[in-house]
Structure 1
């Protein structure tokens, strides 16, 4: 169990450090050319690379919502849910702290939003609470269906990380303007502690919506899209 939790913690660290790092360090400089699409791709690549690196140890969740959705679908033990959540959040917090230590090495650095998620005034496009709630719920449900489908015994083995990484890239391309994209409570929690905005006060939504969406996705898969797995 210790190795599984370590793998989840490190995988979540990589997701937050790589994904949020691309936004905080690279996207802040337009001349480097990473832009909106580059940040989306960075998040997809973090999941793809860690799924291959440590997915065989822990299952490669790196996300409390994914762990919950897999449990709802009968693919993950309920007794392991809280330990996984703790490992994932710790990995995210450590990644945000390391990223802050690097970013603050630049003269004139201000944390600001620090790649955190938000709605209303904290939404990149000024989207409302209900818009944020809907998009985070819908996209997390879709993400779980992709994960469950691509890891099913009915499909060729070994390609799931590619489908999952591309799905996360697509999710970011859709929702960065709305919430700066969460679909992952651990990712939201880590950077919210560093942000100097009201990100912590809005963090509740980025737990509630992804967890609800994951449960919906798990139920859809279990009841409508497969007879057995």
Structure 2
């Protein structure tokens, strides 16, 4: 649930940019399973596994020991996203979230041909992480860490749409706009996760990520309200990506914009 790509832009700005992905994956080329693509899938697998393992793990610990509390749970989710953005963002973009991948592809910021591979890697990682947690916290210590609507399905659906819109709006801003401060992208995205989890956790569970909800549901065989956590984040993410793109008045880099203003 994070960025598109991390690297250096053509103008020397070290940050997160989509340009490198677009160069590596021209829209007219046919799909081939390359070594580079397999590395991206492995990066998504590792990053999503760590995210779900850490985030759902702290929920288990909090239920069992009551030592962390809601602020602690939110901090762990935000920190896990932040460190994975910096760890593998330059390899795969550190999406860790099928809704993010679909949203980027919907506005032509990510190749559609790579979407299925990313989604399989993310869902597999979330399922493996959930299975690992259930194995570790066995017996009386095992607790369902998936998402079920605390109130009505509609209430949770609307909340998931809004908070994922907000999250994807921030991701698109720092990941695709060269004028943004790319070095702080991980901090911005992680902080957004933290804020959303703090106030929306008691209302909807603050999933914002279909893989995070599907993985535990498969392992615990509990599917009540799961559609909310698939549909809501997907709609919100697509809306957030298109929402920011509607504000983007140019695709030029920061140096190109500055140069143009100086020549006027």
Q: Give the TM-score normalised by structure 1.
A: 0.89
- On the 8 A contact 2:51/2:77 being kept in 1, the answer is yes
Q: 5+ unaligned residues in a row in structure 2: which ranges? A: 1-36, 253-264
Give the one of 172, 178, 190 matched to 1:153: 178
Q: How many pairs does the alignment contain?
A: 215
The equivalent of 2:242 in structure 1 is 219
Shift of 1:156: 2.3
Please name the residue that 2:95 is paired with: 61
Q: Which residue is equivalent to 1:187?
A: 212
Q: CA RMSD in A?
A: 1.5
1:23 corresponds to which of 40, 49, 59: 59
Match of 1:203 among 226, 235, 240: 226
Alignment-derived partner of residue 90 in structure 1: 124
Are 1:118 and 2:152 counterparts? no
User: Which residue is equivalent to 1:102?
Assistant: 136
Change (3 A) 1:192 1:217: same
How far 1:75 moved relative to its partner?
1.7
> Using a 3 Å threshold, how does the CA distance of structure 1 residues 187 and 99 change in structure 2: closer, same or farther?
same
Which residue in 1 is equivalent to 2:113?
79
The structural deviation recorded for 1:192 is: 1.2
* TM-score when normalising by structure 2: 0.78
1:143 to 2:167 alignment: yes
Query: What are the ranges of 5 or more consecutive residues in structure 1 without an aligned counterpart?
Result: none
The structure with the largest alpha-carbon Rg is: 2
Contact 1:69 1:215 in 2 (8 A): yes
Choose 173-182 or 41-50, whichever is displaced more. Answer: 173-182
Instruction: Measure how far apart 1:27 and its partner are.
Output: 4.5
Structure 1: 4+ residue segments shifted above 6 A: none
In the alignment, structure 1 residue 46 sits paired with structure 2 residue 76: no
Q: Distance in 2 between matches of 1:181 and 1:99?
A: 20
Paired position in structure 1 for 2:69: 35
Contact 2:43/2:88, CA 8 A, preserved across alignment: yes
Contact 1:41-1:169 within 8 A present in 2 as well: yes
CA distance in 1, matches of 2:240, 2:163: 9
